[in-house]
Amino acid sequence: MTAINEQSLAEIKENIDLVKAELRKFIVGQEDVVEQLLWGIFAEGHVLLEGLPGLGKTMLVRKISEVMELQFSRVQFTPDLMPTDITGTNMIQPNEQGGQSFVFHEGPLFSNIVLADEVNRATPKTQSALLEAMGEKTVTVMGKMHRLPEPFFVLATQNPIELEGTYPLPEAQMDRFLMKIDVDYPSREELKEIAVRTTAPNIEPLQKRVDADFVVNVQKTAKELLVAEPVLDYAVNVIMASHPDDEGTTEDIREYVRYGSGPRGLQSLLSIAKVRALFDGRYNVSVGDIKKAAYPVLRHRMFLNFEGEASGISKDNLIGALLESVAERA
């Protein structure tokens, strides 16, 4: 168990603030995206990122790995990608006795941060290999289990506008992701600043602010934060109200949602709320933490029915109304 005291909380908050400040030297805008990605890393989960091509998703993750001194690898998912292309495989090599033996060669999954680019372009078999590694933090090749490094974080991206030649993740597999983050298009001023920073003759590298040991320590510390009974009840009410048959849900959810979040959604909600409290240097998880975490947690766990899909209703609007409804009856 990691001892939690005011000094350790202050040190964690100070280091997290340094990481954010360093990232702001290169990343323009996208503050919510950066914040939520850090939540995912320190909550020991994995994130699904959705946004238009060219918004800097790969560069953002690469810069996070630089500032946090974590090993980074990127996998471009394509229909011909095989499971062994990402997990690694056994290869025959000469041994010291003059014979030959199988030696395991690690694949790109053996990194601290793995960017799975356009994950919905790979076949279900390769997607399953990735999701197994995400859940178990191990890969099994020819009957032998290999443990992945700590920390281990997968960021998978999806292109929301191009569906031809894709294999969309099944709903049950989407639930494996801790949260889903939407990347918005930059404003006019942000677009200008991006052009200035990325086309400058000399782009200074970002400084390393924390390391893998710090990340693992914060992950362990976050788990030890206690959640008061009223806050836990509120989180449970939020998850229950995401279902159309719950008596406390909203009329829009009854009309447009097929079904809502399962138990893993509640676990994700509490994990992220704990990390958010830690970022603020607090021992306690608040209802405000639950509200902020609810959007990325429920965004991919509330599935619209035909009417909802046809009307183009925003899931974020549904979640916002849900949170107001739960607050009114809390």
- Name the strand (E) or helix (H) holding 145: strand 144-147
Which range is least confidently modeled, 62-66, 115-119, 158-162, 205-209?
158-162
Who has greater pLDDT, 307 or 119? 307
- State the pLDDT at residue 164: 55
Q: What is the pLDDT of residue 123?
A: 84
Q: How many domains does the chain have?
A: 2
pLDDT reported for residue 42? 94
141 and 23 inside one domain? yes
Domain co-membership, 160 together with 251 = no
| Residue 220, in any domain of the structure | no
Which stretch of DSSP H or E encloses residue 139? strand 138-141
Question: Could you tell me whether strands 72-76 and 257-259 are parallel, antiparallel, or unpaired per DSSP bridges?
Answer: unpaired
Report d(CA 64, CA 210) in Å as an integer.
10
Residues 291, 304: Cα–Cα separation, whole Å: 21
Q: What is the DSSP string of 70-134?
A: --EEEEE--TT--HHHHHEEEEEEE-TTSSEEEEEEE-TTSSSEEEEETGGGS-HHHHHHHHHHH
State whether 10 and 99 are in the same domain.
yes
Model confidence, pTM:
0.87
Residues 37, 35: Cα–Cα separation, whole Å: 6
Question: Which structural domain range is residue 297 located in?
Answer: 226-329
Q: What is the CATH number of the domain that holds 151?
A: 3.40.50.300
Residue 132 to residues 19, 42, 109, 142, Cα–Cα distance (Å)? 30, 20, 11, 15
Q: Do 253 and 160 belong together in one domain?
A: no
Percent of the chain with pLDDT over 70: 95
Structure-model confidence comparison of residues 165 and 132, the more confident one:
132
Backbone phi and psi for residue 265, each to the nearest 5 degrees, phi listed first = -65, -40
Residue 277 inside a domain? The answer is: yes
Among 38, 14, 49, which residue's Cα sits nearest to residue 169?
A: 49
Residues 236 and 192 in one domain: no
Question: Of 84-88, 93-97, 105-109, where does mean pLDDT reach its minimum?
Answer: 93-97
What pLDDT shows up at residue 312? 86
Which of 180, 214, 248 represents a domain boundary (last residue)?
214
- For 19-73, write each residue's pLDDT tens digit: 998 988 887 777 888 899 999 999 998 999 887 777 777 788 888 898 998 999 9
pLDDT at res. 162: 56
What pLDDT is stored for residue 39 in this prediction? 94
Same domain, 281 and 170: no
* CATH code, domain carrying 281: 1.10.8.80
Q: Is residue 72 part of a domain?
A: yes
Residues 272-281 pLDDT 10s: 999 999 999 8
Measured between alpha carbons, how far is 244 from 105 in angstroms, rounded to an integer? Answer: 48
* Same domain as 246, residue 161: no
pLDDT at 90 over 80: no
pLDDT at 1 over 50: no
Does a structural domain hold residue 274? Answer: yes
**Count of C-beta atoms within a 10 Å radius of residue 314:** 10
154 is a domain residue: yes
* Structure tokens belonging to residue 140: 């099994």
Inside any domain, residue 166: yes
Q: Does 185 share its domain with 260?
A: no
Residue 119 CA to residue 48 CA, distance in Å, equals 9
Structure tokens at 250: 């909203």
CB atoms within 10 A of CB 182: 17
Q: Are 239 and 182 part of one and the same domain? A: no
* 180 membership: H or E segment, kind and range: strand 179-182
The least confident of 45-49, 98-102, 266-270 is: 98-102
141 and 233 fall within a common domain = no
Q: Tell me the residue type at 141.
A: V
Instruction: Compute the chain's Rg from CA coordinates.
Output: 21
- What rounded mean pLDDT belongs to the chain? 85
**DSSP summary character for residue 164:** T
205, part of any domain: no
Classify residue 221: in a domain, yes or no: no
Percent of the chain beyond pLDDT 90?
A: 38
State residue 328's pLDDT score. Answer: 58
Q: CA–CA distance from 185 to each of 60, 75, 91 (Å)?
A: 14, 24, 45
Q: How far apart are CA 223 and CA 212, in angstroms?
A: 17
20/155 same-domain check: yes
Rounded Cα distance, 212 and 64, in Å? 12
**Do 256 and 152 share a structural domain?**
no
Query: Is 222:272 a contact under the CB 8 Å cutoff?
Result: no
